[in-house]
Chains A and B, each alone.
Chain A
């Protein structure tokens, strides 16, 4: 099973709201990722967690706050977003190891900031 699940599927929020995106995997993967994807562009890496520790932060604004409560779960907390943050937010996971690490993506959360 190579399934990554994400909730919610769609989210509409105002600029003063606080919301969270959730991601879950049960493949025993120890690396989890958040990506942002705008229309007709490739996914853009935001954060990487490796063994539940934040290992990469791609200079993402502080209004995005990631959290990894355990090895299966990944959250992205959103606060005071801007309309330009509207995008498809993708979660992915992969095994940690020496060789190539295939990342498996979830279906995404479509976020609209009004």
Chain B
């Protein structure tokens, strides 16, 4: 069974204090790993798709990296508007397939304070 574990559950940072969020996964053949940002009461907003180990993607203050067992979301010099829940999800492929299903982690709730 595919599993995704995110840590920490919650993170409080001062503005400008860089940090990383972790997403550990076990999946039968990784088809893709996805990062989303979700604000309270809103739908998840797509951030990144990672396909293979060693891949890195950046967007503004965010950088996502992928290894064979985990992914990191690095936040450089965060601002209060970066406060949100960050969700990691995996999509399985391989022999048994996985259709279009995503397996989500429980998220990291980030709060950035002035």
Q: Are A and B part of the same complex?
A: yes
A contact residues vs B (CB 8 Å cutoff): 2, 4, 6, 31, 33, 41-43, 45, 48, 50, 55-56, 88, 90, 92, 94, 96, 99-108, 110
User: Can you pick out 10 interface pairs between chain A and chain B where the beta carbons lie within 8 Å of each other?
Assistant: A45-B101, A90-B44, A92-B43, A94-B100, A100-B49, A101-B91, A105-B36, A105-B46, A107-B42, A107-B43
Q: Measured between alpha carbons, how far is A56 from B34 in the docked complex, in Å?
A: 20
Is B94's CB within 8 Å of the partner chain A?
A: no
B31 within 8 A of partner (CB): yes
- A100 close to B100 (CB less than 8 A): no
| Residue B106 interfacial (CB < 8 Å) | yes
Contacts of A55 in B (CB 8 A): 99-100
- Chain A binding site: helix, strand, loop or mixed by DSSP? strand
Q: How many residues of B contact A (CB 8 A)?
A: 23
Q: How far is the CA of A33 from the CA of B42 in the complex (A)?
A: 16
Q: How far is the CB of A114 from chain B (nearest CB, A)?
A: 19
Given A42-B104, A56-B100, 14 more contacts at CB 8 Å? A6-B43, A42-B89, A42-B106, A43-B44, A45-B102, A48-B99, A48-B101, A88-B41, A90-B43, A90-B44, A99-B51, A103-B46, A104-B46, A105-B43
Residues of chain B having any CB pair with chain A under 8 Å? 31-32, 34, 36, 41-46, 49, 51, 87, 89, 91, 99-102, 104-107
A42-B105, A55-B99, A100-B49 given; A106·B43 CB < 8 A? yes
* A6 neighbours in B (Cβ, 8 Å): 43
Q: Given the known inter-chain contacts A42-B104, A42-B105, A45-B101, please indicate yes or no for A99 contacting B31, CB distance below 8 A.
A: yes
| B51 close to A100 (CB less than 8 A) | yes
How far is the CB of B58 from the nearest CB of chain A, in Å? Answer: 17
Q: Which residues of A contact B44 (CB under 8 A)?
A: 43, 90, 105
Contact B106 A41, beta carbon cutoff 8 Å: yes
CA distance A94 to B46 in the complex (A): 12
> Which one of B31, B32, B43, B104 lies within 8 Å of A108 (CB-CB)?
B43
Tell me how far the C-beta of B59 lies from the nearest C-beta in chain A, rounded to whole angstroms: 14
Asked if A31 meets B100 with Cβ closer than 8 Å, knowing A42-B87, A99-B32, A100-B91, the reply is yes
